[in-house]
Structure 1
Amino acid sequence: MPSFDIVSEINLAEADNAVQNVMREIATRYDFKGSKSKVEFADGVVTIHADDDLKLKQLREILQGHMQKRGIEPGSLDYQKPEPAAGQAVRQTVRLKQGINKELAKKIVKAIKDEKFKTQVAIQGEALRVSGKKKDDLQAVIAFVKGLGVEQPLQFKNFRD
């Protein structure tokens, strides 16, 4: 029986490379000269340290651009609320969304079942397994899920015939 998995994964090595590129860009940019701004990456969390709100906004834009160049979509970045640090400095954490959470999984399963495709959908941890009798049915489900407009980027893997 043909099947495939719907997942949401991020290559953490690419995310680390993007953060390193941001640090290199900060070191060479004139508007960050003499600034204590920096970006750190550890355990799937990016921490942005900036001198003020303006530099924080610029760092977010630079980070997002470098992440996109590395194949990490903006929808997978979860910006937390900025926190004040010493003086006027601000700090913001950015979590990288890995896996499909329960609410989103239930929403996708419900949408697929409402369309009455001839497939079965099962939630398996942080992934969804879709199986059906025909390859064409599975391809229709893939096209349908792509058209749902889910903000979190989804990948379709392990297509088995």
Structure 2
Amino acid sequence: MASEYSFDIVSKVDMNELQNAVTQAEKEIATRFDFKGSKSEIKLEKEALILVSDDEYKLNSVVDILQSKMVKRGISIKNMDFGKLEPASGGTVRQQVKLKQGIGQEDAKKMNILIRDSKLKVKSQIQGDQLRVTGKSKDDLQSVMALLRGADLPLELQFVNFK
């Protein structure tokens, strides 16, 4: 039996599932009556989505369709960072949506403070874009997980490498 247990806190978007959600959203846009003759599309580029549509109203509908498909596939919409609307060629509008991968320094510091203020007997340290929590009791580590799930953080967290 190990004397110390640990787990890592990460925030990642499953790109395969996201690709599936984008494909499903594009199919729905192609078949919907209100998008007939519209220039609406969703492009997935490395760490961002590019949404294009005829006007702001249709672009909002595209966002709603995409988000519903993402939720159905188990992808959190918290990790989406919407850019501003900008005019594009052909009288269309475009919006870039960045996907947050990893935990930023500010969010990691907030989580560190939350864990420290909980008075649980655990240690947490920032390791690049993730956070490692160690402790002698599995129950304390599970309490930390419950604490972070209940906290109103601006990103979706996954708990991995539970040892």
**Shared fold (TM-score, shorter chain, > 0.5):** yes
Q: Distance in 1 between matches of 2:76 and 2:39?
A: 27
- Which deviates more from structure 2 when the two are superposed, residues 77-86 or residues 47-56? 77-86
Instruction: State the partner residue of 2:35.
Output: 32
SS in 1 for 2:37: coil
Q: % of aligned pairs identical? A: 49
| 1:19 paired residue number | 22
TM-score by length of 2: 0.94
Q: Which amino acid aligns with 1:56?
A: L
Q: Deviations over 1:96-144 (max 9, x none)?
A: 1111000000000011111221111010111100001111111111111
Deviation string 1:54-89 (CA, Å, 9 cap, x unpaired) is 101100100100111111111111111111113541
- Distance in 2, matches of 1:146 and 1:23, equals 32
Whether 2:56 is the aligned partner of 1:64: answer no
Q: What TM-score results when the alignment is normalised by the length of structure 1?
A: 0.96
Letter in 2 for 1:9: K
**Structure 1 residues 29-71: Cα deviation after superposition (integer angstroms, max 9, x where no partner):** 1111111111110102110010011101100100100111111
- Note the residue ranges of structure 1 that are not aligned, 5 or more in a row: none
Which amino acid counterpart does residue 37 of structure 1 have in structure 2? S
* 1:86 matched residue in structure 2: 89
Q: How much is the aligned-residue C-alpha RMSD, in angstroms?
A: 1.0
Distance 1:153 1:111 in 2: 16
Residue of structure 2 in register with 1:122 after alignment: 125
Matched to 1:8, the amino acid is S
The residue that corresponds to 1:106 in the other structure is 109
Q: Secondary structure at the match of 1:4?
A: strand
Q: Give the Cα separation in 2 of the matches to 1:115 and 1:17.
A: 39
